[in-house]
Structure 1
Amino acid sequence: MASGNPFYDDLRNKPEVIDPPESEDLVEIVSESSVNDPAQIALKPNLTVSSSVRELLECPVCLNAMYPPIHQCSNGHTLCSGCKPRVHNRCPTCRHELGNIRCLALEKVAASLELPCKYQSYGCMGIYPYYSKLKHESQCIFRPYNCPYAGSECTVMGDIPYLVAHLKDDHKVDMHNGSTFNHRYVKQNPHEVENATWMLTVFSCFGQYFCLHFEAFQLGMAPVYMAFLRFMGDDNESKNYSYSLEVGGNGRKMSWQGVPRSIRDSHKKVRDSFDGLIIQRNMALFFSGGDRKELKLRVTGRIWKEQ
């Protein structure tokens, strides 16, 4: 919402998230396991933090939570360390010079607070110290997933059931039940790879969902095709499954066996790591047969659960 102050609003349009710096006096040391394990954090259902206290800890420029060092002007107005250079060392509230005054009292108030995870509505019931909360949220197992649909900049986020419905209804993705697949890929002009051609199919098996990607892209100067599987869940769960892919023709075939990557890893990250079945265009056209003017590939595969 606009504040009426153009200087103020211009800065708010460029938010910047600052990682909380290490501070022996203020940061509670939390183990890697407890940061992401609500069972390790005492639940305090009666804990409430007034909105006025939360507002005190909100930077008036970027609107993000403030972490040490928290700066203040001579009139007591506070500002996060990330926004201090952006306002040219002048308080955005009263325009006085900021100097190097730290608001130690507010930093200590923050150190005494314990707050619920922002993903509470997704199922996280943990209560975390103010200075540990940000780290927990970056790793929280309840945090929503990004839409795994490739080929567009879809910004939808949600839990797995929501994303499955979203893929089906909004992206019109093919949905299949079962752990085996026979995927046919046809392209009439296989020499055009500049505009990446991709397909996505979602498979439901073992009570989980998997995304099969098949696409064309440029690998250096060579156009290639790639097929790979992603798991709709976290990385620790994806390692419980394996999959195989096979493509061939004219009495030849290529095969691949791997572990599906979690959709926590972006589609581009998986593709750029070459973690899948890669087929050079010339080989793909050879598999297709005919006059090499049309790509006709059939990719078969299987998903299984490791014992």
Structure 2
Amino acid sequence: MTMGYSEPLDWANVALSSLSGLNDLHSSVQCVLSQRDAPFIPLILQCPNGHTICSSCKHRVENHCPTCRQELGNIRCLALEKVAEQLQLPCKYQSMGCTEIHPYKNKLKHEELCRFRPYNCPYAGSECLITGDVPFLVSHLINDHKVDLHEGCTFNHRYVKPNPYEVENATWMLTVFKCFGQHFCLHFEAFLLGMAPVYMAFLRFMGEESEAQGFGYSLEVGGGGRKLTWQGTPRSIRDSHRKVRDSFDGLIIHRNMALFFSGGGRQELKLRVTGRIWREQGQ
């Protein structure tokens, strides 16, 4: 009798062919602990009973299987790792418009930068944890933070402080403008730069940085025959309010200059910041 030679089984292909669909495949390579967040990272461990867990979660269960409590050790599940290497998964922001599909090991990196991921609330007065798309955040700012919404591409912002010598750190104001079908956040703040009180105005775009590059804006403050002007590109709200402020990317007015602009014997701060937004040519 002739003995035939059989190739070793490719367990990854066997596993793939035995699963009924992408959802089954996805759930088969998810960590029992972190499955709500992400599929397995490349190193997959298994206990003596065959239960699997990703290596990054091993310390969380003190080296014991969360299913049967057997000691985990360092036994790798190579077949499941091969399955995972072939897995293509949609972005978790698919319902928000993302159509990209990535190998599972690249999925998290993509989602960290996905343009469809939710934005953080741009309100600077508190650590607001609300996230969402732009229409939702505009409504949230108006209804929950009582922020004013103005239509138009020019603005005239007035800031008054009875005692200009008492500057509380991060005293702020926020106004939202709708212009060219987009939304912009105008910030005006008083804060301490070291020991020196300063005032700062800057604009943020409610959208992606690549979209923000299509717009420009100018700010102007003055009085007594003098004026300061600023011209720049709005920053995306992907950059936090603090990041923009601490980079000094806006109109900065030192207190002595602000009092000069205010007039009235330097007894009261009265600043009027004007400006406009425009669409850059070719956009």
TM-score normalised by length of structure 2: 0.85
Spell out, residue by residue over 1:231-289, the C-alpha distance to the aligned partner (whole angstroms, 9 max, x if none): 11111111111111111122221111110001111111111111001111222122212
Identity of aligned residues (%): 72
Query: What is the 5 A alignment of 1:276-287?
Result: 276-287=250-261
CA contact (8 A) 2:88 2:102 kept: yes
The residue number in structure 2 matching 1:299 is: 273
Spell out, residue by residue over 1:42-98, the C-alpha distance to the aligned partner (whole angstroms, 9 max, x if none): xxxxx94235x4344333334432211122222222222222233333333333332
Matches of 1:249 and 1:57 in 2, distance apart?
Answer: 66
Q: CA deviation at 1:222?
A: 1.5
Of 21, 26, 34, 1:54 maps to 26
Matches of 2:51 and 2:116 in 1, distance apart?
Answer: 36
Matches of 1:62 and 1:197 in 2, distance apart?
Answer: 41
| Counterpart secondary structure, 1:200 | strand
Of 77, 89, 95, 1:103 maps to 77
Query: What is the 5 A alignment of 1:171-250?
Result: 171-250=145-224
Spell out, residue by residue over 1:103-156, the C-alpha distance to the aligned partner (whole angstroms, 9 max, x if none): 222211222222222111111233332223222222222222111111111122
Q: CA deviation at 1:302?
A: 1.2
Amino acid at match of 2:31: C
Query: What is the 5 A alignment of 1:123-202?
Result: 123-202=97-176
Matches of 2:21 and 2:187 in 1, distance apart?
Answer: 46
Deviates more, 1:228-237 or 1:145-154: 145-154
Q: CA deviation at 1:195?
A: 4.2
Amino acid at match of 1:124: C
Of 93, 96, 107, 1:119 maps to 93
Matches of 2:140 and 2:243 in 1, distance apart?
Answer: 22
CA contact (8 A) 2:91 2:101 kept: yes
Structure 1 residues 190 and 62 mapped into 2: Cα distance closer, same or farther (>3 Å)? farther
Structure 1 consecutive aligned stretches of length 4 or more whose deviation exceeds 6 Å? none
| Counterpart secondary structure, 1:82 | helix
Matches of 1:142 and 1:259 in 2, distance apart?
Answer: 22
Aligned Cα root-mean-square deviation (Å): 1.9
Aligned length: 260
TM-score normalised by length of structure 1: 0.79
Q: CA deviation at 1:228?
A: 0.3
The residue number in structure 2 matching 1:266 is: 240
Matches of 1:266 and 1:177 in 2, distance apart?
Answer: 24
Spell out, residue by residue over 1:143-183, the C-alpha distance to the aligned partner (whole angstroms, 9 max, x if none): 22111111111122222122212212221111111111110
Matches of 1:149 and 1:216 in 2, distance apart?
Answer: 15
Matches of 2:231 and 2:23 in 1, distance apart?
Answer: 54
Matches of 2:234 and 2:192 in 1, distance apart?
Answer: 23
- Structure 1 stretches of 5 or more lacking a match? 1-46
Matches of 1:200 and 1:267 in 2, distance apart?
Answer: 11
Query: What is the 5 A alignment of 1:75-114?
Result: 75-114=49-88
Structure 1 residues 87 and 191 mapped into 2: Cα distance closer, same or farther (>3 Å)? farther
Matches of 1:166 and 1:48 in 2, distance apart?
Answer: 39
Amino acid at match of 2:219: L
The residue number in structure 1 matching 2:7 is: none
Larger radius of gyration: 2
Matches of 2:200 and 2:21 in 1, distance apart?
Answer: 51
| Counterpart secondary structure, 2:55 | coil
Amino acid at match of 1:274: F
| Counterpart secondary structure, 1:50 | helix
